[in-house]
Amino acid sequence: MPTSHVSRLLEALESKARQQESLTELNVTIAREDQIRLEALASAFGLTREEVCSSLLHSILLEVEEKMPYRPGSKVIRIEDGDPIYEDVGPMPRYLEAKRKLEKDRDCA
């Protein structure tokens, strides 16, 4: 039996409610030029500047995580296909540790 319009609506409302529960407010100071860019994007897409700012920040953070450089150290941590894999001494391990700690602290609160 196909999903009814009401069922899809209820699923969408539940999803939106879960998203809203996970939001937190952040106040930032930005350059006037960037504020104009945000307002122009918001106007072009019929969104609030807060929605645009939130979407931009989310996308940028995902890309930063993706592009964080791997810097091989001197310690071999495992062998893959006969090749040594060296520990990462770049910023990623420190970032992941800080992220885990913050997530754990929030879960405990």
Instruction: Work out how many domains the chain is built from and give that number.
Output: 2
- Statement to judge: residues 11 and 37 lie in one domain: yes
Q: Above 80 in pLDDT, residue 40?
A: yes
Sorting pLDDT into bands at 50, 70 and 90, what band is 12? confident
Give the pTM: 0.72
CA distance 87 to 102: 23
- Statement to judge: residues 9 and 42 lie in one domain: yes
CA distance 58 to 44: 19
For residue 1, what pLDDT is reported?
A: 54
- Statement to judge: residues 60 and 11 lie in one domain: yes
Residue-range definition of the domain harbouring residue 79: 70-109
For residue 18, what pLDDT is reported?
A: 85
- Statement to judge: residues 27 and 43 lie in one domain: yes
User: What is the tens place of the pLDDT at every residue in 73-96?
Assistant: 999 999 999 999 999 999 999 999
Which uninterrupted H or E stretch holds 18? helix 5-21
- Statement to judge: residues 62 and 101 lie in one domain: no
